[in-house]
A = this chain, B = another copy of it.
Amino acid sequence: MDARYQLIPAWRIREGVGESIEDPVTRESPLTIILNDRELVTLLCTWEHVDELAVGFLQSEGFIKAGDDIPDVRIDEEQGSAIVKTARQAAVAEQTFLKRYITTGCGKGTSFYNLSDAVCRPVETGFTVTPAQIFRLMTEAQRMSEMFKITGGVHSSAVCTGENILFFREDIGRHNSVDKLTGRCFYDRIDTADKILLTTGRISSEILIKAAKMGVPVIASRSAPTDLAVKYAADLGVTVAAFVRNRRMNVYTYPERVSP
């Protein structure tokens, strides 16, 4: 059985006529991250590259930092868990993580932002990319999206140079597809200051913060951004290019990095 999708009986109705089919449906698998003997969170994900997902999630949430020692990760397929051991405990991250998931602590709800602000340095780089390069990469990423073609039920994201896709990841969750890339870059010690993050999903504030923590100067999406993502991008030095389709795009921040 493929861990990513399964055939499920369905009744297809077309032009008023029904027929029995077997339809490939994307699988949604729970991954429980156990950090230093403590259950941290359960993510619903596509069961593929889950070691990267665990490590990327931990980096996105501030439990580990780029350049830290690579943690010991053991995947238990039977239990659906990632058992992670790190050299040191990140007590502060744990506090902010719990706080964020339960309550944001300050009435105005700005602690998401303060949180990110505290742990993200603005991206500084002389990196530039041409619109033609972004169009080409987006077309290439769409071509690679095998699971989407099969099930229609996943998001895909990629880390690219101006010329090539380095890593391509799919997941039922927008966030997970980006976290997997963060994990891959962590494992391979990738210098992200001259890389582009492509995604099929919308650029929400949470995705933007993940991009900033990954350290990429450019995020490009086929879909729409939110105002909060654009605000964070302006503060954190990230170029946001959205609605990248049919040789068009809108660039909301630092357009000087996207020059013909």
Which of A65-73, A119-127, A156-164, A220-228 participates in binding chain B?
A: A220-228
Known: A13-B258, A224-B152. A107 touches B131 (CB 8 A): no
Does any Cβ of B come within 8 Å of A118's Cβ? no
Say what secondary structure dominates the interface of chain A.
mixed
**A1-43 residues at the B interface, CB under 8 angstroms:** 5-6, 8-16, 18, 21, 23, 25-28, 30-32, 39-42
Q: How far is the CA of A205 from the CA of B14 in the complex (A)?
A: 26
B79 touches A108 (CB 8 A): yes
Q: Inside 8 A of A9's CB, which chain B residues have their CB?
A: 252
**A98-153 residues at the B interface, CB under 8 angstroms:** 98, 101-105, 107-112, 131-132, 151-153
Which of A51-59, A190-198, A241-249 participates in binding chain B?
A: A241-249
Q: Inside 8 A of A16's CB, which chain B residues have their CB?
A: 131-132, 247, 260
Residue total for A at the interface (Cβ-Cβ under 8 A): 70
Number of copies: 2
Does any Cβ of B come within 8 Å of A250's Cβ? yes
Known: A80-B109, A204-B44. A8 touches B230 (CB 8 A): yes
Q: A241: nearest residue on chain B (CB-CB)?
A: B13
Known: A16-B260, A250-B23. A224 touches B108 (CB 8 A): no
Q: Inside 8 A of A224's CB, which chain B residues have their CB?
A: 25-26, 151-153
